[in-house]
Copies of this chain bind each other. A is one copy, B any other.
Amino acid sequence: MLTDRQQEIVDTSLEIISSIGIQGLTIKNLAKRIGISEPAIYRHYENKISILLTILDYFKSSGEQMFRKQIKSEDRPLRRIECIFEGHFDAFERNPSLVSVIFSEEIFRNEPVLQAKIAEIMDRNFNAIKALVVEGQAKGEINPNFDSKYLTIIIIGSLRMMVKRWQMVDKSFNNRDEVKNLFSTIRKLIENNNS
């Protein structure tokens, strides 16, 4: 569990990342924004890496929660994938900084601990979606003539691309509709329509 200050540090970090990018997340900026001195940060976190690890953990567990909810759900696989789509999207909308975090692998490249965590999160997400695709194919909802691996790459890649575009150009347009449209396109593409 996090203390109030620890939570504040994490929240403020996400704010900073959101507004000026991960590069701007320095202890100095962090301390200034919170209104305490730099060394005070170290009363609550051993070092900067452990702050970042906490952020990634938060990210990981919020994703896990979403997947768990979908596993229990009685919906059909395609609908569950759609929920994950929307769920991720809601998360991004509520907390735009997560977008920066998700695309920050390159920055963590010199920190093995962080890179490992990122790889772990990506891998788990991939497998969760893939499991749903496989299930959808088994139940005849998704076209079984395609390798589930490639369908998963297409699904996740599309979502990421959408988010990236949103971050780079669109900026606060009709994002919810965009996601709906994108997913409905994907759905029609991969659905099993042997009528």
User: Which chain A residues have a beta carbon within 8 Å of chain B's beta carbons?
Assistant: 20-24, 100, 103-107, 109-110, 119, 122-123, 126, 145-147, 150-151, 153-154, 156-162, 164-165, 168-169, 181-182, 185-186, 188-190
Contacts and interface: CB of A to CB of B under 8 A. Distances in A.
B158 A153 contact: yes
B181 A109 contact: no
Given A21-B110, A105-B164, 13 more contacts: A20-B109, A20-B110, A21-B106, A23-B110, A24-B110, A103-B105, A104-B106, A122-B168, A147-B181, A150-B185, A153-B165, A154-B185, A157-B158
29 contacts: A20-B109, A20-B110, A23-B106, A23-B107, A24-B110, A100-B106, A104-B106, A105-B164, A106-B106, A106-B107, A107-B107, A123-B169, A126-B165, A146-B188, A147-B185, A150-B181, A150-B182, A153-B158, A153-B161, A153-B165, A153-B182, A154-B185, A154-B186, A157-B158, A157-B159, A157-B161, A160-B160, A189-B189, A189-B190
A109 B154 CA distance: 27
The 8 closest A-B pairs by CB, nearest first: A157-B161, A157-B157, A21-B109, A150-B185, A157-B158, A189-B189, A154-B158, A153-B161
Contacts of A21: 106, 109-110
